[in-house]
């Protein structure tokens, strides 16, 4: 055990998801009961680290939070302390590296190590803080399941349950009115939520970023169902899907965000275009949007979150730094943070960058064997 560690901090960055509170619960309880050290939680991610806004985490503070979605510490995805937006008196913005302020705040409060929960942007900053000498351990967090090296991330399972439940409900109204129902899901540039949720939810068509689609092919699938007496169809659209020869549909660009490109709205466009191709059908649109982030945390995500939290504290206390906890081959392991960030590689187990759905992999092959179309 590293006897120099007397107090650790924890923060959550990026978008929220179910399972974050389970990790916070496990980190706090492990630090206190197993090692007898203090824990504080920085509010609103790196913003709290910069402004020194934190709360003491003890056994009472984390009691009864494990099942709750979201994060008790709140979060932010606009605060890159290595390129922080400073507003000038004249209204202009100047970007400045304020990472030294974060280090000074930790030193002032006697925080010896930091556990960071986040996705690619948040963990990139964690890696950079480690390079400055901070003892830091990363924990992967995203509903998109697009982080490399780990088989799964917490939050993903709960989101899939939400999508599957929504598709079950959509089916009843689609059947009742002989409609084509288009359901948009999140996932950014990867199709894990769409393909796994669509498979479990009995979708007829799934459009994902990894397989460019042709709406004429989608219309052919709907016509095929019509001819067999199935006069309704459910089309799941991943927000990052794109047509053959086309580009992704960008809803807006948020200049002051670390993740400036915002997707969403492709489902509405697909609905309009499909309606023009198949005028004999009513085509309706539903965007699950932020419903996929919230709600009661599933058993799997609670369990995985707690295992990650315990492992992160153990790593800190064993003297490790600049590592990320992962779930691999049904075991909790850890890898260097430098292996987490980088360029994307297509494949279900890519090492760097994002983890994409393999168009020739098991899940897509299973879908196609079940008669599900990808519009290709």
* β-pairing verdict for 283-287 and 261-263: unpaired
Which amino acids are annotated catalytic?
A: 144
> Do the Cβ atoms of 54 and 85 come closer than 8 Å?
no
What does each C-alpha distance from 104 to 47, 99, 101, 313, 327 come to in angstroms?
14, 9, 5, 22, 33
Tokens of 351: 């090492």
> Do the Cβ atoms of 27 and 39 come closer than 8 Å?
yes
Helices (H), the chain: 20-29, 46-51, 99-109, 120-131, 156-177, 192-200, 215-227, 266-277, 299-317, 362-369
- The region that residue 152 occupies, defined by phi over 0 for left and psi between -120 and 50 for alpha, beta otherwise, is beta
- What is the distance between the alpha carbons of residues 137 and 325, in angstroms, rounded to a whole number? 8
> What angle in degrees, to the nearest 10, is found between the helix axes of 299-317 and 20-29?
40
Query: Which residues partner with 117 through β-bridges?
Result: 12, 139
285: phi then psi, degrees, rounded to nearest 5? -130, 135
Tokens of 150: 């780990």
Residue 58: strand, helix, or coil: coil
- What is the distance between the alpha carbons of residues 63 and 61, in angstroms, rounded to a whole number? 6
> Do the Cβ atoms of 245 and 82 come closer than 8 Å?
no
- What is the distance between the alpha carbons of residues 147 and 328, in angstroms, rounded to a whole number? 12
Q: What is the DSSP string of 6-41?
A: -EEEEEE-SS--TTHHHHHHHHHHIIIIIT--EEEE
> Do the Cβ atoms of 295 and 164 come closer than 8 Å?
no
- What is the distance between the alpha carbons of residues 337 and 245, in angstroms, rounded to a whole number? 35
């Amino acid at each position: 055990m590293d006897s120099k560690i007397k107090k650790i901090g924890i923060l959550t960055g990026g978008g929220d998801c179910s399972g974050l509170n389970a990790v916070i619960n496990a980190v706090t309880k492990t630090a206190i009961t197993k090692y007898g050290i203090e824990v504080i939680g920085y509010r609103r991610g790196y913003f709290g680290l910069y402004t020194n806004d934190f709360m003491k985490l003890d056994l009472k503070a984390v009691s009864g939070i494990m099942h709750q979605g979201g994060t008790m510490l709140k979060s932010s995805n606009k605060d890159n302390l290595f390129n922080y937006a400073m507003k000038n008196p004249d209204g202009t913005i100047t970007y400045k590296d304020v990472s030294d302020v974060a280090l000074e705040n930790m030193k002032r409060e006697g925080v010896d190590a930091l556990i960071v929960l986040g996705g690619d942007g948040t963990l990139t900053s964690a890696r950079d803080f480690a390079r400055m000498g901070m003892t830091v351990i990363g924990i992967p967090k995203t509903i998109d399941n697009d982080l490399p090296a780990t088989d799964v991330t917490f939050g993903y399972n709960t989101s899939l349950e939400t999508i599957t439940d929504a598709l079950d409900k959509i089916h009843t109204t689609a059947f009742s009115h002989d409609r084509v129902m288009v359901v948009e899901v999140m996932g950014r540039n990867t199709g894990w939520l769409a393909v796994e949720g669509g498979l479990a939810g009995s979708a007829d068509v799934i459009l994902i970023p990894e397989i460019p689609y042709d709406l004429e092919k989608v219309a052919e699938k709907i016509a095929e169902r019509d001819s067999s007496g199935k006069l309704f169809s459910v089309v799941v659209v991943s927000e990052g899907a794109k047509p053959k020869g086309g580009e992704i549909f960008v809803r807006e660009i948020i200049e002051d965000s670390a993740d400036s490109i915002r997707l969403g709205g492709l489902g509405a466009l697909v609905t309009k275009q499909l309606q023009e191709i198949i005028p004999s059908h009513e085509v309706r649109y539903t965007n699950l949007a932020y419903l996929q982030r919230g709600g009661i945390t599933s058993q799997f995500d609670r369990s995985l979150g707690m295992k990650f939290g315990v492992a992160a504290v153990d790593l800190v206390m064993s003297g490790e730094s600049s590592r990320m906890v992962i779930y691999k081959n049904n075991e909790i392991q850890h890898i260097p943070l430098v292996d987490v960030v980088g360029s994307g590689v297509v494949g279900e187990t890519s090492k760097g960058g994002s983890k994409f759905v393999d168009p020739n992999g098991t899940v897509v092959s299973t879908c196609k064997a079940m008669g599900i179309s990808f519009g290709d």
